[in-house]
Amino acid sequence: MINDYRYRLDNSRPRIKVTCPACGRSRKLVRYVNTQTGLFLADHVGKCDRIFKCGYHYTPSDYFRDHPWLNDITSHRPVSLHIINEQLSQPSFIERSWMVESMNRSQSSSLFRFLSSLWGNDETMRLFRLYNVGATSRMNDAAVFWQVDINGCIRTGKIMRYGNNGHRIKEDGLVNLMWAHRMKSMVDNPEDFNLVQCFFGEHLLSVCPDSKVLIVESEKSAVIASHYYPQYLWLASGGCCGCLNQTA
């Protein structure tokens, strides 16, 4: 028996996405599904994949608030579901060679150069290797924060651009973000890739099992905090598109 919500974002594979009512892009809206019946709510009840460029998110709570005659609001509060022999989909992984190649380029990223100006090259390299932070030739040598789980398997990499001041680069007020698992060169078929995120830095749990763990939002914060407070083990959730949310 596990606790769950009656309505949750569709996580089937492959997902059946529809046109987002806000940005008008086809196959971008992930709809909410009734876990007891397997049926979708209305086609406009869901979350757009274009998190930063659109941000549309119309929840079941919003839907029943706007349509009170359809259902009592308590119908989608957490309920206990009895699930027998549930088959959980297995996560997909990225080949280690891609992460290694990326980490060999780590010094080319603006983030590395900024942090090394504060701490020195050796300390910055130590932390980048500790946390598996690399760089990519795409997006002007953007930093890559690899998600490696407690078993050492690579779930994905979050690719972020930083300026010379260490701040994330934004265009039209939106943060530039790309996922390693969506790059055709790293996986055979990005559409079939089953992303199940983990905490950034999770691989360190097996190395330091007795350490006190503190969790922050951003990957950069975890790296910086590890320098100034090395007595703790710092993990990052990844923010609004991280492992504590239902979609990436």
The answer to whether 49 and 28 are in contact (CB under 8 A) is yes
Would 13 be classed as within a structural domain?
Answer: yes
Considering the domain architecture, whether residues 233 and 122 belong to the same structural domain is answered as yes
**Letter string b/e over residues 69-103, b meaning 16 or more CB atoms within 10 A of that residue's CB:** eeeeeeebeeeeeeeeeeeeeeebbbeeebbeebb
Dihedral, 112, 114, 118, 119 alpha carbons, nearest 10: 0
Would 139 be classed as within a structural domain?
Answer: yes
Considering the domain architecture, whether residues 147 and 226 belong to the same structural domain is answered as yes
pLDDT tens digit sequence for 156-208: 999 999 999 999 987 654 556 789 988 877 777 777 888 899 999 999 998 88
Considering the domain architecture, whether residues 175 and 232 belong to the same structural domain is answered as yes
User: Which amino acid is residue 194, in one-letter code?
Assistant: N
Boundary (domain end) residue, out of 15, 50, 81:
81
Considering the domain architecture, whether residues 113 and 223 belong to the same structural domain is answered as yes
Would 228 be classed as within a structural domain?
Answer: yes
The band of 210, judged by pLDDT with boundaries at 50, 70 and 90, is confident
Would 88 be classed as within a structural domain?
Answer: no
Boundary (domain end) residue, out of 57, 81, 105:
81
The band of 70, judged by pLDDT with boundaries at 50, 70 and 90, is low
Boundary (domain end) residue, out of 56, 81, 106:
81
Considering the domain architecture, whether residues 66 and 188 belong to the same structural domain is answered as no
Considering the domain architecture, whether residues 165 and 58 belong to the same structural domain is answered as no
Would 73 be classed as within a structural domain?
Answer: yes
Considering the domain architecture, whether residues 108 and 164 belong to the same structural domain is answered as yes
Considering the domain architecture, whether residues 10 and 107 belong to the same structural domain is answered as no
Considering the domain architecture, whether residues 54 and 112 belong to the same structural domain is answered as no
The answer to whether 72 and 59 are in contact (CB under 8 A) is no
Would 91 be classed as within a structural domain?
Answer: no
From the list 77, 66, 55, the residue with the least C-alpha distance to 8 is: 77
Kind of pairing between the strands at 154-160 and 177-179: antiparallel
Chain mean position to CA 107: 24
Q: Is the pLDDT of residue 72 over 70?
A: no
Considering the domain architecture, whether residues 170 and 66 belong to the same structural domain is answered as no
Print the domain residue range for 44: 2-81
Would 86 be classed as within a structural domain?
Answer: no
Would 121 be classed as within a structural domain?
Answer: yes
Considering the domain architecture, whether residues 23 and 101 belong to the same structural domain is answered as no
The band of 84, judged by pLDDT with boundaries at 50, 70 and 90, is very low
Q: Which pair of tokens denotes residue 211? A: 């350490």
pLDDT tens digit sequence for 128-167: 999 999 999 877 789 999 999 988 999 999 999 999 999 9
Counting the structural domains of the chain, the total is 2
This prediction's pTM: 0.65
The listed range with the strongest mean pLDDT (11-15, 79-83, 96-100) is: 96-100
Considering the domain architecture, whether residues 75 and 104 belong to the same structural domain is answered as no
The larger pLDDT score, comparing residue 14 to residue 49, is at 49
